[in-house]
Amino acid sequence: MNRSIKMDRRYTLGDYKYITLEDEVTDIPQDLAFSSDFVSSVRFLQLLSFEIAYRKYIQLVAKYPHSMDIEKAVAALEQLRDEEISKLRIVLNGQPQDDGEPQ
């Protein structure tokens, strides 16, 4: 029977506003699911991913504040989305990945 590891993290944005990030790794073989080293590593990676996503969110909000012209902000956000979709397509099509260095 395969298992899953799910984690969520809630961040306070101020003024009683929150953002909740969730991650779930599914279809983990039972032998790995019972390995404390494996589970600890997965959970730590999930936590690190949350921290990175939260910080990127804060940067995004600072770069495109609500006071910004809505059309310009939407156009910029759509461009960022399209760039990320292109990156995913490259990975899914089996093209070479980068070496993990920041871009």
Q: For every one of its 103 residues, what pLDDT tens digit does the chain have, with 9 covering 90 and above?
A: 899 999 999 999 888 989 999 999 999 999 999 999 999 999 999 999 999 999 998 988 888 877 778 888 888 889 999 999 998 889 889 865 555 554 4
- Looking at the 3D structure of the chain, how many domains does it have? 2
Q: How does 55-67 read in b/e, with b if 16+ C-beta sit within 10 Å?
A: eeeeeeeeebeee
27/8 same-domain check: yes
Structural domain boundaries, residue 101: 67-103
CA separation (Å) from 70 to 40, 78, 79? 42, 12, 14
pTM score of the predicted model? 0.71
Q: What is the DSSP string of 23-48?
A: EEEEEE-HHHHT-HHHHHHHHHHHHH
56/40 same-domain check: yes
55/15 same-domain check: yes
- Give the pLDDT score at 103: 45
75/59 same-domain check: no
28/52 same-domain check: yes
- Give the pLDDT score at 99: 53
7/47 same-domain check: yes
Do 43 and 7 contact (CB within 8 A), yes or no?
yes
15/53 same-domain check: yes
